[in-house]
Chains A and B, each alone.
Chain A
């Protein structure tokens, strides 16, 4: 027969374990829901349109699932951007929609995968939120360049931005060092 003290100890330990298990389950469920919401937003906003390289076949350009959201491929060398004639045509893009040229220069879409060296692998949630909120590289560097619509995505609330980041942590890491942006022709 167990003593009263031991019985109480067992009850307390069981209760604590249940509480911890419950908390863990709840955290996991919350994280899963957050990842799913992030996936939903990334899909609905069309982030892959520009951030995922394309393959080309009879049906035209298709997103390459092996390079999902990995940005402009480092091994795709592009000639200087075309010079547009005077008139209303203002910017141009490559066939993958991963490189864009306009009055700001030439920009290349970023690697959003969790690769530590070339993607967002070393970023913290607050770095990502700050980047989208203030439109600056790494949250505090040079301005993000067109056509990244950060003034619009900055309207997402914190929970949505954290959800996007949570989802981006779950996609496969792709090692791809995206080129640095180029200045406008003749500006330097």
Chain B
């Protein structure tokens, strides 16, 4: 055995060296400056690298009103495997960046798929915008002023993982639904597509997405809903809640809640009359939030937003109750209005009936 180990040791080291040479450094070695991550051809001039694409998801994440720009780079000759349209498999070497601006650019978040997994980082911009340097592993509290006198928190790397590795794919803003060319005109906070932005159709046309189900090539995914407002509400919940509250094994103990707010791009009630997961797991379903929400609280009470835990937790920043629990200090008032109106109007008992909701019995109860 000693001989075997002696022989294998150098071999393993050799393989690791070849991997690093071909695929980049291990995850714990991050560039110290944004300028060295590959986003820019000329950092000082702000010129993007030639193979960097920009995109805008139709349902953005609320981050206290931050303006955002998003970038994607695939290694030359590689493609995204879209066999699972809600869980795209990006090739090793994929890089994504997202700028956050509150009047000025404050931070740029960066994720990269390396040979040993995804790595996450954030770069904090200097006030004069001349440089952006790697944030500490534990993040930076109060890095910049946002709105209403609050401050922006640069997330710790564990905060990044909390949201990005709790669902089907670590990439949240680039999926079949998010990049669909059939964009939702009522989606909250959606930036209009900019010249040069790629969407699903463009990625397919360039041959950068493969194995996308033909049905989604023929008809770009669209949230099927009874009204335009319901479509926007389901899209908002998908983008702001579904990355943690979903059925993926990766959501960890949260999966026990049986709360699924992620919207599958292939969900089509016309073909299969099941309600959207966000309805099936909330409407008239008893909440497991008891002490803080009150005994008998309901996730979504038909027609009654005041009794709906989902609406109440979305509309508070009480640290014990707020949803999402991180990444925001300011209530999204437009979302509060949207979700409240949706529950009051579309989900009123007299509204078109949705199929009965239930939690699968195989999932044991757990606090939420």
Contacts and interface: CB of A to CB of B under 8 A. Distances in A.
Contacts of B158: 130, 133-134, 139
Contacts of B321: 142
B347 interface: no
Interface in B1-20: 1, 4
A22 B1 contact: yes
A181 B254 contact: no
* Residues of B in contact with A, size category: 20 to 34
A65 B307 CA distance: 42
Contact of A122 (B244, B256, B322): B256
Interface string B304-321: 000000000000001111
A180 B325 contact: no
B163 A140 contact: yes
Interface in A13-36: 19, 22
B318 A117 contact: no
Contacts of A182: 291-292
A184 B291 CA distance: 13
Given A136-B326, A140-B326, A179-B291, A127 B252 contact: yes
Contacts of A105: 320
Contacts, number: 72
Nearest to A23: B1
A152 interface: no
B147 interface: no
A181 B325 contact: no
Given A134-B156, A134-B162, A136-B326, A142 B364 contact: no
B253 A123 contact: yes
B367 A180 contact: yes
A128 B296 CA distance: 30
Nearest to A133: B158
**Which residue, A122, A124, A180, A187, has most C-beta atoms of chain B within 10 A?**
A180
A70 to B, nearest CB: 16
B291 A140 contact: no
B159 interface: yes
Nearest to B321: A142
Contacts of B104: none
Contacts of B166: 140
B318 A130 contact: no
Contacts of A188: 318
A22 B320 CA distance: 49
**Which residue, B156, B289, B320, has most C-beta atoms of chain A within 10 A?**
B320
B319 A180 contact: no
A104 B156 CA distance: 22
Contacts of B291: 179-182
B253 A117 contact: no
B366 interface: yes
B161 interface: yes
A138 B250 CA distance: 12
A11 interface: no
A141 B1 CA distance: 46
A126 to B, nearest CB: 7
B216 to A, nearest CB: 30
B145 interface: no
A61 interface: no
B320 A138 contact: no
Contacts of B325: 136, 140-143
A179 B290 CA distance: 9
B365 interface: yes
Nearest to A141: B325
A179 to B, nearest CB: 6
A116 interface: yes
A183 interface: yes
A140 B165 CA distance: 10
Interface in B235-289: 244, 252-254, 256, 289
B126 to A, nearest CB: 26
A140 B244 contact: yes
A139 B326 CA distance: 11
9 contacts: A19-B4, A136-B159, A140-B162, A140-B244, A140-B325, A142-B320, A143-B325, A181-B320, A183-B292
Interface of A: 19, 22, 105, 116-117, 122-124, 126-127, 130, 133-134, 136, 138-143, 154, 179-183, 187-188
Given A180-B367, A181-B292, 20 more contacts: A19-B4, A117-B365, A117-B366, A122-B366, A126-B252, A130-B161, A130-B162, A136-B159, A136-B162, A136-B325, A136-B326, A138-B253, A140-B166, A140-B252, A141-B254, A142-B320, A142-B325, A143-B319, A180-B292, A183-B292
- The 10 nearest A-B residue pairs measured at CB: A134-B158, A140-B162, A180-B291, A127-B252, A133-B158, A138-B253, A141-B325, A142-B325, A117-B364, A122-B253
